[in-house]
């Protein structure tokens, strides 16, 4: 484990946390993974208990905390919106007498306010509410750290502890969410806990939210924040950064629209042009509504774009600038999801203009032009851009199955081009057999539950990057990556089928689940691969039913 730590085998994953009221990203929880060279990615349940016994956990936790602080520092520097991150604090760490010094030292070193770091103490740690535990938590809280009680409701809690422990946030255990919420009577307990929390001035985070229904119940009961597979699984830092960027850009669009009327200066405009006089004019024209950044060369422009990855609301780019066309391509690529509106400028030249538009410029302004018309063009480019982004998010809605949040058929075809498939990817098709009969027997509400349940099973058994689709009412598709052999693919398939058959929904008269799994050969069109999977599924179904009838007979 020492070697593993020294060689960077421990990786910090982040799971986003959202404000329920408006769906805004507010933070993340850091969860450690062991990327073992031989055994692959190990879940913490495999190694945390061992490290807690041998004391190594404190070193590992300190490593995780430090990584989290360095990330927050980096993001602050790049101008991302300020979010908080929760880290797990093991019970053993608390008896490390340097905990307060260590953590305050860390925050100073990274120039962060302690309120940015939330400390999750698991509820079982509170069972021995020693003086030392209460004092340490109290001291940390006085320093400004946010203290969260993790796994609340998991069975160790006593209401007494709530009054004794210095805490700011209750984190509802996922088992609690998943069982209490499905029972009609569970609602009363949930509401009671939330009322109690409010009365104690604690905020509440629900953990392990997997379905729309759970989210709605939590919202109705007045819960503040949520985290869970419904939104996103824990993910590598790079993936989290994409979410953060998208969030920042969405905010940027809103803000830049009001920037003109409100006269706020926190948004920037980049003018990249070789002509100093022209840059000075642009500066004067836009100074009332933007912070104007100037670049005289391509390198300078790239530098500025790199340092301010998202605050730049628009770019005015001279195509006669050496390398100007490259910048244009870069802007469109770097921020592939959202892009920055760009007004290209240059001489009257149809060829150049067409080129610019093809490379993704929002508009082309022929030089010379007066500043008033430039101002109008920039404004228009920004609103066109906003519209495009809106369209894209609308499209995204049309591409998702509203009940499960998985992609729908249309969504699958929309992303087909970007689906990378290599010899190590697998396509697995599932069908919930006789869903219709189930609906007739138990009603549509139960039928919906069954579908949601199956969707969360799929999420739980797949990786972050795998593609999950609800193809039709009772048909689901999973494209899974990094599966090296058919044998592993079958194990995956079986694990899902087994988990399903162990769930409470299975009723021998109505719904069983069948699957067809195939390796995806590169170059094979999507329709064909699905066709092949379907054949196997039907064969499985025919033989499965036969077996079943034989048994019955
Ligand atoms: P935890 O602190 O209660 O973390 C929540 C666990 O729930 C995570 O498991 C997370 O991946 C999982 N989870 C999140 N959303 C959902 C959902 O919608 N459905 C389901 N079924 N699960 C969900 P993970 O990452 O395997 O971590 C397990 C436990 O290991 C953590 O439980 C925590 O106690 C411990 N742990 C993880 N990282 C660290 C660490 O850096 N330090 C310490 N001391 N403990 C850690
Ligand atoms: Ca936790
Ligand atoms: Ca937890």
Longest dimension (CA), the chain: 92
In angstroms, what is the span from residue 4 Cα to ligand 1's centroid? 20
Q: What is the pLDDT confidence band of residue 422, given thresholds at 50, 70 and 90?
A: low
pTM of the entire structure? 0.57
Probe residue for ligand 1, chosen from 17, 31, 35, 233 as the CB with the greatest number of ligand atoms within 8 Å = 31
Residue closest to 404 by CA, chosen among 432, 385, 376: 432
**Lowest mean pLDDT segment, chosen from 12-21, 27-36, 265-274, 278-287:** 265-274
In angstroms, what is the span from residue 88 Cα to ligand 2's centroid? 5
Residue 254 has pLDDT above 70, yes or no: no
Residue closest to 32 by CA, chosen among 46, 21, 22: 46
The percent of residues above 70 in pLDDT, for the chain, comes to 83
Atom of ligand 1 nearest to the CA of 151: 3
| Ion ligand 3 contact residues with beta carbon within 5 A | 150-151, 207
- What pLDDT shows up at residue 77? 86
The 10s digit of each residue's pLDDT in 476-503 is: 999 888 787 889 899 999 999 988 888 7
- Measured between alpha carbons, how far is 390 from 386 in angstroms, rounded to an integer? 6
Query: Which ligand number lies closest to the CA of residue 63?
Result: 1
- Measured between alpha carbons, how far is 484 from 383 in angstroms, rounded to an integer? 47
CB 43 less than 6 A from any atom of ligand 1: yes
Residue closest to 499 by CA, chosen among 424, 412, 430: 430
- Of the spans 186-190, 334-338, 471-475, which averages the highest pLDDT? 471-475
In angstroms, what is the span from residue 31 Cα to ligand 1's centroid? 6
Probe residue for ligand 1, chosen from 4, 51, 62, 88 as the CB with the greatest number of ligand atoms within 8 Å = 88
- Own/partner pairs, 443-452, CB within 8 angstroms, 24+ separation: 446/505, 448/403, 449/182, 449/213, 449/505, 450/505, 450/511, 451/403, 451/404, 452/210, 452/211, 452/212, 452/213, 452/403, 452/404
Mean pLDDT of 446-468: 84
Strand locations in 383-455, DSSP E?
Answer: 426-432
CB 44 less than 6 A from any atom of ligand 1: yes
* Polymer length of the chain: 553
Which helix (H) or strand (E) segment is 78 a member of? helix 57-78
CB 433 less than 6 A from any atom of ligand 1: no
Average pLDDT in the chain: 84
- What pLDDT shows up at residue 543? 84
* Residue in the block written with tokens 């030292």: 105
Write down the catalytic residue from 120, 207, 353, 431.
Answer: 207
Show the domains of the chain with their CATH numbers.
Answer: 2-250 (3.20.20.450), 259-388 (3.40.50.2300), 394-551 (3.30.70.270)
Residue 397 has pLDDT above 90, yes or no: no
Query: Which ligand number lies closest to the CA of residue 58?
Result: 1
- Measured between alpha carbons, how far is 293 from 309 in angstroms, rounded to an integer? 13
- What pLDDT shows up at residue 310? 57
Is beta strand 475-480 parallel, antiparallel or unpaired with respect to 426-432? antiparallel
Beta bridge partners of 346: 366
The yes-or-no answer on residue 207 being catalytic is: yes
CB 292 within 8 A of CB 384: no
The 10s digit of each residue's pLDDT in 369-380 is: 999 889 988 887
More confident residue, 192 or 335: 192
CB 466 within 8 A of CB 489: no
The protein residue whose alpha carbon is closest to atom 44 in ligand 1 is 90
Query: Which ligand number lies closest to the CA of residue 173?
Result: 3
Strand locations in 25-178, DSSP E?
Answer: 25-36, 40-42, 84-89, 117-122, 146-152, 169-172
Q: What is the pLDDT confidence band of residue 23, given thresholds at 50, 70 and 90?
A: confident
Residue 392 has pLDDT above 70, yes or no: no
More confident residue, 210 or 124: 210
Residue 553 has pLDDT above 50, yes or no: no
Q: What is the pLDDT confidence band of residue 550, given thresholds at 50, 70 and 90?
A: very low
What's the number of CA atoms in the CB half-sphere (13 Å) around residue 374?
Answer: 26
**How far does Cα 397 stand from its chain's mean position?**
16
Mean pLDDT of 467-474: 90
């Amino acid at each position: 484990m020492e070697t593993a730590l020294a060689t960077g085998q421990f990786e910090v994953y982040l799971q986003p946390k959202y404000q329920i009221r408006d769906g805004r990203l507010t933070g993340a929880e850091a969860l450690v993974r062991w990327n073992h060279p031989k055994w692959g990615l190990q879940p913490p349940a495999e190694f945390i208990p061992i490290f807690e016994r041998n004391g190594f956990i404190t070193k590992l936790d300190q490593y995780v905390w430090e990584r989290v602080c360095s990330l927050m520092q980096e993001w602050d520097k790049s101008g991302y919106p300020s979010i908080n991150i929760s880290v797990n604090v093991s019970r053993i760490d608390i008896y490390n007498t340097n905990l307060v010094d260590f953590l305050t030292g860390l925050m100073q070193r990274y120039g962060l306010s302690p309120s940015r770091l939330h400390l999750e103490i698991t509820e079982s740690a509170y069972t021995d509410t020693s003086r030392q535990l209460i004092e340490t938590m109290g001291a940390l809280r006085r320093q400004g750290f946010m203290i969260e009680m993790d796994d609340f409701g998991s069975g160790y809690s006593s209401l007494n502890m709530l009054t004794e422990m210095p805490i700011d946030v209750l984190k509802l255990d996922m088992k609690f969410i998943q069982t209490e919420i499905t029972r009609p009577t569970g609602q009363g307990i949930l509401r009671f806990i939330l009322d109690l929390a409010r009365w104690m001035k604690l905020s509440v985070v629900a953990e392990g939210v997997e379905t729309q229904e759970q989210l709605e119940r939590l919202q109705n009961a007045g819960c503040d924040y949520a985290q869970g597979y419904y939104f996103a699984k824990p993910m590598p830092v790079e993936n989290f950064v994409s979410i953060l960027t998208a969030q920042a850009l969405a905010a940027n669009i809103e803000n830049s629209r009001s920037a003109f009327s409100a006269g706020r200066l926190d948004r920037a405009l980049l003018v990249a042009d070789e002509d100093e006089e022209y840059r000075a004019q642009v500066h004067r024209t836009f100074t009332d509504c933007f912070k104007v950044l100037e670049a005289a060369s391509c390198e300078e422009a790239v530098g500025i774009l790199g340092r301010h990855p998202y605050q730049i609301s628009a770019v005015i780019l001279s195509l006669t600038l050496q390398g100007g066309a490259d910048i244009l391509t870069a802007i469109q690529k770097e921020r592939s999801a959202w892009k920055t509106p760009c007004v290209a400028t240059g001489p009257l030249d149809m060829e150049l203009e067409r080129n610019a538009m093809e490379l993704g410029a929002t508009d082309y302004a022929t030089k010379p032009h007066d500043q008033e018309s430039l101002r109008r063009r920039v404004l228009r480019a920004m609103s066109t851009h906003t519209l495009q982004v809106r369209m894209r998010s609308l499209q995204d809605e049309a591409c998702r199955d509203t009940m499960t949040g998985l992609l729908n058929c249309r969504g699958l075809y929309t992303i087909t081009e970007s689906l990378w498939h290599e010899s190590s990817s697998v396509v697995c098709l599932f069908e919930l057999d006789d869903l219709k009969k189930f609906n007739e027997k138990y009603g549509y509400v139960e039928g919906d539950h069954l579908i949601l349940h199956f969707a969360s099973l799929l999420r739980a058994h797949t990786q972050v990057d795998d593609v999950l689709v609800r193809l039709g009412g009772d048909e689901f598709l999973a494209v899974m990556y990094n599966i090296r052999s058919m044998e592993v693919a079958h194990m995956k398939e079986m694990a899902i089928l087994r988990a399903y058959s162990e769930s409470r929904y299975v009723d021998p008269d109505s719904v069983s689940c069948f699957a067809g799994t195939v390796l995806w050969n590169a170059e094979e069109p999507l329709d064909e691969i699905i066709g092949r999977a379907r054949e196997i599924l039907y064969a499985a179904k025919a033989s499965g039913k036969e077996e079943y009838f034989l048994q019955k007979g």
